[in-house]
Structure formats: C-alpha cells, structure tokens
Amino acid sequence: MSEDKKPEDKEPWWKNEFKDGWWKEVPWIHPQDTEPSGVSLFIDYMLDKAIITPEAVKIASWIPHRLILLEIVHPLKGTERISFMISPTSVSPGIPDATPDAIISYDYYDLAKFLIGKESDFTMSFWKGHSKVYGNLIALIDLANILEVALGKSIEQAKSERPRNWPVGYP
C-alpha cells in the first residue's frame, strides 16, 4: 500500500469479487437488469436450489420448528429483512409476527458469495466479523446445515462442524 493511501481509503473486499453484472452469470438467479435485492437473492436460492435438493429437505424435516429473522445488510442499499421458518419451511419478506428463535444479521456480499458457491461455510461471515447472530445459536447451525447441503455438501460434511452434543434435529 502506498504511503499516501490510508487504510480507510482501501476498496471494500467485495468490489474486487463482485464486478458489475455478476448476478447475470448465476443460473438460478432470475434474470434482471440490476443487482438483486437480498430478499430476492435468498428466495431465488431457496426456490431454485434448496427445496429441490432432497437431502436439504430431509434435514429440514429433522429440525424442530425454528423461526429466523434474517437481516441482509447491503453496504450501499441498507438492510432488508426476511422471515425464514424451518419445519415447516416458509420464506417471506419482512419481520415475523412471532418472536424469532434467532436474528441473523448477514452481510449481503458474504451471503451472495456463499449462495453462488464461492464459499462453502455459511458461518464464515461470522468468523470474519462481517455478520452477527442473536438468540438461539443452534437455529443458525440448523440453517447452515440446510443451506450447505443444498450447495452440495453431504449431511456428514455439513454436520461435522456442529458440536457432537447437538446432533441435527435437536433444540
């Protein structure tokens, strides 16, 4: 880094990885002229990848009822909210009527990176300090298992990161 360039002047990491039009190359994202919203990105993934993956549906059936409020934080556009229910599965924009088991505040570009398969660990954004979880941590792990299996991991690979005393399907 040059002496005259300050750390705060450095381009954000996602500007190098997400060039203009990146979403047009992803087959499951519905065609559009502008970058998809976080809500449409997540819903497209759930409809066109996750619920058509038998293993992901199987895992969702093992998990007790979970209600997750997913806040997708775009660095330029702000925060969008989506309610995600596991067992039975439901995805809808907005804040849920009931108290969620977990509130997950997730960086938009980290979510996109995971959903398009450039990252295989859904929790990596938390380890990097880009995202936060409030509430039932196991709800986050349950969601991670479903999404990672839909991305191509086996259930054994997905649950290998889960503590042994919290097997899939337990509160």
* Annotated domain spans of the chain: 33-153
Q: What is the pLDDT of residue 4?
A: 56
- Distances in Å between the alpha carbon of 60 and those of 53, 86, 144? 11, 6, 11
Name the average pLDDT for the chain. 84
Average pLDDT over residues 74-87: 89
- 1 has a pLDDT exceeding 60: no
- Distances in Å between the alpha carbon of 112 and those of 36, 55, 87, 119? 10, 22, 24, 9
How far is the C-alpha of 52 from the C-alpha of 50, rounded, in Å? Answer: 5
Express each pLDDT in 103-157 by its tens digit. Answer: 999 999 999 999 999 998 888 898 889 999 999 888 888 888 888 888 888 888 8
How far is the C-alpha of 48 from the C-alpha of 66, rounded, in Å? Answer: 21
Q: What is the pLDDT of residue 92?
A: 82
Q: What is the pLDDT of residue 80?
A: 94
Percent of the chain surpassing pLDDT 90: 29
Q: What is the pLDDT of residue 78?
A: 93
Angle at which helices 137-151 and 54-62 cross, to 10°: 160
Average pLDDT over residues 161-170: 67
The CATH number that domain 33-153 falls under is 3.30.1050.10
Contacts of 19 (CB under 8 A, 6+ apart): none
Give the pairing of strands 132-135 and 102-107: antiparallel
